[in-house]
Amino acid sequence: MAWTGRMFRLIVADPEEISEGTLAALEDIQASKEQDVPKVFIRFLNQRTLRLAGMSELEANTTRMYIKMIGKFFDKQRRLYTPFLTGKGIHAYVHYLNTLVSRRKPLESVSDGSEKFTIFYRCCCNIGDMLASWLNGPLWICEAMDAGLINSLFHAERFHRHTPPNILEPKLDVSFCLILKQIALYMVYPAVLRRFLRLKKKIVESGLEEKKLEWPTDLRAFWDLAGERATGLEEIRRTYEPSHASGIDTHSTISVREKRNLKIQTPLIDISCARLVALSCIARENALENAGRLNTGRNVQRSLSRREKVHLLQQRLTLASSA
């Protein structure tokens, strides 16, 4: 009962007024193993998800504040960030988002433009912003896509049509654009690329992709860019010979101990992979420039080999994604 009372006082509080002392106290509870703090918060969010259909306006607003509070407790700068992600926090958030936008029954009695619908719309925006911040590694992006994140994008037409009453309020399509940008960034990882291509194929075959014609222009453009990048990377993957794949080995600079903690070492792996790919591209570019100068001096025109063309194509895709 002590934890329930503490939870109640936190839920009704304004997330903007939660002190640093409260955040530190929760981190101390987690460190002492008195309670699994992320697990409790995730369980409560799952309970809120099951009760969406019968929520009153007050309960919906309380849940919205609770979602914002989770974002503050489990921010990337806090010690609870990694335990929250490894405890299926992203799966719980995507499940809540899917329940709101993909299922008709929970919100069938809520009319568009009502105060209650506006509250749920703000919940979706808050979830989208947090997911865009949390999806900073291939492991978490794969977990989000497995939980149905891409499908929610194509079932949220009711929310895409909604116009916030205040022009300064966040918009759901902006949050989805940031999420698609993160997914496109990590498509260099085969697991992310395979999942995206498989989901995109299912969406095209089911006819859901036609719904993008009703999307805002920016969101439609981000989806098309993500699809083009996935197609280009898949072409590179098929072109590469196995003997040449060692140039982008993501584990060559990681010790055995770090490999055991792979789930909490994604930032290190990302940096390692990006550095090795960049060095490989730079070395290849310098070699081509030097060869070009020598050939120009001898008045010899040399055509690029297949491997050199692949490296140049990869470099262009990398520069385009970072622009």
Region 296-304: mean pLDDT is: 47
| Residue 32 pLDDT class (50, 70, 90 cuts) | confident
pLDDT attached to residue 312? 65
Residues 80/38, Cβ–Cβ less than 8 Å: yes
**Choice between 23 and 196, residue whose per-residue pLDDT is larger:** 196
Does position 301 have pLDDT exceeding 50, yes or no?
A: no
Determine the average pLDDT of the residues in 269-285: 53
> pLDDT of 70-87, one tens digit each?
877 787 777 788 888 888
C-alpha separations of 236 from 4, 159, 216 in Å: 53, 37, 31
Query: Is residue 193 pLDDT above 80, yes or no?
Result: yes
Query: What's the confidence (pLDDT) of residue 296?
Result: 45
Q: Is the pLDDT of residue 295 over 70?
A: no
Q: Give the per-residue pLDDT at 142.
A: 92
> What is residue 130's three-state secondary structure?
helix
Lookup: tokens for 267: 């930032």
Confidence of residue 196 (pLDDT cuts 50, 70, 90): very high
Number of neighbours of residue 106 by Cβ within 10 angstroms: 19
22 or 299: which leads in pLDDT: 22
Three-point CA angle 229, 96, 160, nearest 5°: 60
Residue 183 has pLDDT above 90, yes or no: yes
- For 19-30, what is the mean pLDDT? 73
Report, as an integer, the average pLDDT of 101-114.
Answer: 73
Q: What is the mean pLDDT of residues 48-68?
A: 80
**Is a pLDDT exceeding 70 seen at residue 262?**
no
Question: Which of the pair, 284 or 93, is modelled with greater confidence?
Answer: 93
- In angstroms, the CA 120 to CA 99 distance is 11
pLDDT of residue 299: 43
For residues 221 and 166, what is the distance between their CA atoms, to the nearest angstrom? Answer: 25
Query: In the structure, what pLDDT confidence band is assigned to residue 249 with cuts at 50, 70 and 90?
Result: very low
Q: In 3D, which of 23, 22, 28, 130 has the Cα closest to residue 78?
A: 23
**Average pLDDT for 214-242:** 85
CA distance 243 to 40: 48
Task: Single out the residue of 91, 96, 87 nearest to residue 123, CA to CA.
Answer: 96
In which residue are the tokens 């989806």 written?
223
Q: What pLDDT, on the 0 to 100 scale, is given for residue 269? A: 43
pLDDT-based confidence at 209, cuts 50/70/90? Answer: confident
Q: Given this model, what pLDDT does residue 106 score?
A: 67
Output the pLDDT for position 285.
57
Furthest-apart CA atoms within the chain: distance in Å: 85
Q: What is the Cα–Cα distance from 180 to 99, expressed in whole angstroms?
A: 20
Amino acid 309: pLDDT: 63
| Residue-level pLDDT at 307 | 64
What average pLDDT does this structure show over 121-137?
87
Task: Identify the pLDDT of residue 318.
Answer: 62
Predicted local distance difference test score (pLDDT) of residue 144: 92
- Reduced to 3 DSSP states, what percent helix, strand and coil does the chain have, rounded to the nearest 5? 75, 0, 25
Residue in 184, 98, 169, 170 with CA at minimum distance from that of residue 135: 184
195 pLDDT band, cuts 50/70/90, is: very high
Task: Tell me what the pLDDT averaged over the chain comes to.
Answer: 74
